[in-house]
Amino acid sequence: MTKTAESVWNECLLFIKDNIKSQAYKTWFEPIKPIKISGDSLTIQVPSKFFYEWLEEHYIKLLRVALVRELGSDAKLIYDVRMENVYSSNTPHTVKIPSSNRKPINSQGITVPLDINKRELKNPFVIPGIQKVKIESQLNPNYNFESFIEGDSNRLARSASMAVANKPGGTSFNPLLIYGGVGLGKTHLSHAIGVEIKDKYPEKTVLYISSERFTQQFIDSVKSNTRNDFIHFYQMIDVLIIDDVQFLSGKTGTQDVFFHIFNHLHQNGKQVIITSDKAPVDMQDIEQRLLSRFKWGLSAELQVPDYETRISILQNKLFRDGVDMPEEIVDYIAKNIKSNVRELEGVLISMIAQASFNRKEFTLALTKQIVDKFVKNTKREVSIDQIQKVVSSYFDLDVTTLQSKTRKRHIVQARQLAMFFAKRMTKASLASIGSQIGKRDHATVLHACKTVDNLTETDKQFRKYVEDLTKKLTY
């Protein structure tokens, strides 16, 4: 029976599959296509130069044994490598590269033994000159589910995160987008997912990275003409965690490369976790094709913790630090620090430090002093209710009229100003603002903000409205 490229390669695959882990087989051998066989030489097509280099570095001996079993001791392997010019829009071309299993001959005609450990993996996390093939997860083990206190404000996000950690890539929460204001636990929760997955599935490659660092790595790869290496590095991750994805805003090149990486991971059943300070609907200067993919899975919001959750967070922190503190002091902190978890913990740390350094007891007076400093140093955020009351009063309206369906020009303008200041002065999403100001949708709020911006530039009287209301709302 005549051997074909397909039959030879299929036999090789059966042998290879029995000798490596299934995940490695799926990642590095399933994408390969047999092209042709000529005598004792087999040509296979691989997706990129990075792919070829990885096979040569990690699986050369295995490939050699598999080929010799099928084609004899003179078996040769030739790679048909898809090459892409970063700076050209031309379609990718292929370059044939002989495998190093061809037993290279030196100038004296003597076979040179292969040293497959010399080639360095193009890992964007590796400092040049330091060989390090293993991919570090970049996770903080202190950020785990045990130290993340559950409450009404975060129950959905925490539950979804636990589901993803138990079955990465196997739930409908892919991608999982966790969003919310500063200091509410987005980074903590995303690390907790990664830590749990590494504990349950040690064979999986988990990677946490901030969007700023991802962007810088991409820029470096373009400068060094290793864009394909950068892409393929990220495509081999099992669980990718991107923090603060809103910082990709306006960076079209980085968004484009992330789009391709995201598609590859999603199509191959890998898990993607994203954090942002905004819901997808509120992200600006992010490509629509990316935003649509963010919506494929679940978007879970982290809200400001309620009083009971703040008490639990404080008690948990004190327990972990082995500190006893009177209940009335814990209660005072919880009632006066409402904006985020980071500030709650910051007050506790300051309290413990002050009491320790000055050898003082925890007192209500000391607590008030420290809390007052935190409140003063934190920009006060007005509520949407306050904004509506101030705007209504300024225009001699009541809030009900402001929120009504009427299309009278002065009422419409007052409503648009309320939406404008709500977007500017609160962390609420566009959808949340619209819901609270007359049950409008996010598109209405966006239109209102643009209208106010335009009128402020072109209408002197309207500009005075904005200036007056700004003073009333900030002083």
Distance CA 23, CA 356 (A): 52
Distance CA(413)–CA(417), nearest Å, equals 6
Which tens digits make up the pLDDT trace of 159-209?
999 999 999 988 888 899 999 887 788 999 999 999 999 999 988 889 999
Residues of the chain with CATH 1.10.1750.10: 384-474
Weakest mean pLDDT among 67-81, 86-100, 454-468: 86-100
The 8-class DSSP code of residue 82 comes to: E
Is the pLDDT score of 113 beyond 50? no
pLDDT for 162: 92
Question: In the predicted model, what is the mean pLDDT of residues 321-328?
Answer: 79
Tell me which CATH homologous superfamily contains domain 155-302. P-loop containing nucleotide triphosphate hydrolases (3.40.50.300)
Whether the model pTM is above 0.75: no
Mean pLDDT of 202-223: 89
Domain 307-377 has CATH 1.10.8.60: yes
pLDDT at 416: 95
% of the chain residues with pLDDT over 70: 85
Give the confidence band of 96 by pLDDT, cuts at 50, 70, 90.
Answer: low
| pLDDT for the residue numbered 381 | 60
Which part of the chain has CATH 3.40.50.300? 155-302
Check residue 180 and give its pLDDT.
Answer: 86
**According to CATH, where is 3.30.300.180 located in the chain?**
5-102
Task: Dump pLDDT digits (tens) for 265-303.
Answer: 888 889 999 999 888 877 877 888 888 888 888 888 888
CATH number of 384-474: 1.10.1750.10
Region(s) of the chain under CATH 1.10.8.60: 307-377
Q: Check: CATH 3.30.300.180 for 5-102?
A: yes
pLDDT tens for 70-82 read 888 888 888 887 6
pLDDT at site 83: 56
CA distance 155 to 185: 12
pLDDT number for residue 24: 79
Inter-axis angle of helices 155-166 and 186-200, nearest 10: 20
Cβ 12 vs Cβ 55: under 8 Å: no
Euclidean distance between CA atoms 439 and 450, whole angstroms: 19
Each residue of 114-143: pLDDT tens digit?
Answer: 333 333 445 666 544 433 345 678 888 888
pLDDT score for 141? 87
Among the ranges 217-231, 277-291, 318-332, 413-427, which has the highest mean pLDDT value? 413-427
What would the pLDDT profile of 340-379 be if each residue is shown by its tens digit?
A: 777 777 787 787 777 667 666 777 787 787 787 766 555 5
For the chain, the straight-line distance linking the first and the last C-alpha, in angstroms and rounded, comes to 89
Confidence of residue 86 (pLDDT cuts 50, 70, 90): very low
* Cβ atoms 369, 411 nearer than 8 A: no
Contact yes or no for 422/437 (Cβ under 8 A): yes
Q: Which pLDDT tens digit goes with each residue over 103-112?
A: 433 333 333 3
| Chain mean pLDDT for the chain | 81
